[in-house]
Amino acid sequence: MPRLDNPIVLVTRPEADAQRFVDVLRTVSGPFSVIISPAFENETLSAEIPDFNIAIFTSRAGVAQAPRGGGRSAFCVGVATANAAKDAGYAAISADGSADDLVTLILRQRPNDALLHIRGEISRGDIAKRLNDAGLKCHDVIAYRKVAKGPSQSVHDALAVNQQIILTLFSAETVSILETWSLNFEGCTVVAISDVVAGASATLLPLNVVVSAAPNVCAMAQTTACLIA
């Protein structure tokens, strides 16, 4: 696939997460412009967090809604989430992968203590159910939800002139929001964090789709950088 000369990288994560990704990308990439236009922001719900011994986190947003760790263990889906959990006082272990990898990690260790998955309103892993079905003690609590946002004027303008655009996609749920934007993504090259997200992105009819070598921010940055001249 030919490299793009000074493309626009479109990032639709929440503002803080998007900026972290862009900062990593700038350390490994050639020149590019960036548009940050969040597809959603996270809204805290008034959820009561029950007592637990070990936390399960599938996002940094879940960590943000959790009580301080106080040295308790936490199983985390990836490195960024694990780093956030460590900052919050947890002894964090990263599965460095997907929800399936996280379940595999927990089942391999088979903790006897009470597990709690602190998660968003939409979760595609059925983590608590799968762990309970395997004989562990796990509850989950919905502590936040994603509130969809519309595209910025910068996104409208960029897509209207069909410039070289790299669209970075970190979740299938984000794709479902972008579908409602009623914009033409056909000239974009998608960088998807996983095969599942790549498959979901087909509804946007992008020009090309590239899958990240691993489902984490650093790999997404490296894969994106490979497309930039």
Q: Which is nearest to 121 in space by CA: 104, 139, 102, 140?
A: 140
What's the whole-model pTM score? 0.88
Mean pLDDT of the chain: 95
Residue 189 CA to its chain's centroid (Å): 19
Tell me, what's the pLDDT at 18? Answer: 97
Residue ranges matching CATH 3.40.50.10090 in the chain: 8-39+149-225, 43-146
Q: What is the CATH number of domain 43-146?
A: 3.40.50.10090
Look at domain 8-39+149-225 and name its CATH class: alpha beta
Tell me how far apart the alpha carbons of residues 146 and 124 are, in angstroms, rounded to a whole number: 14
Q: Kindly report, residue by residue over 207-216, the tens digit of the pLDDT.
A: 999 999 998 9
Q: Kindly report, residue by residue over 14-48, the tens digit of the pLDDT.
A: 999 999 999 999 999 999 999 999 999 999 999 99
Q: Kindly report, residue by residue over 168-190, the tens digit of the pLDDT.
A: 999 999 999 999 999 999 999 99
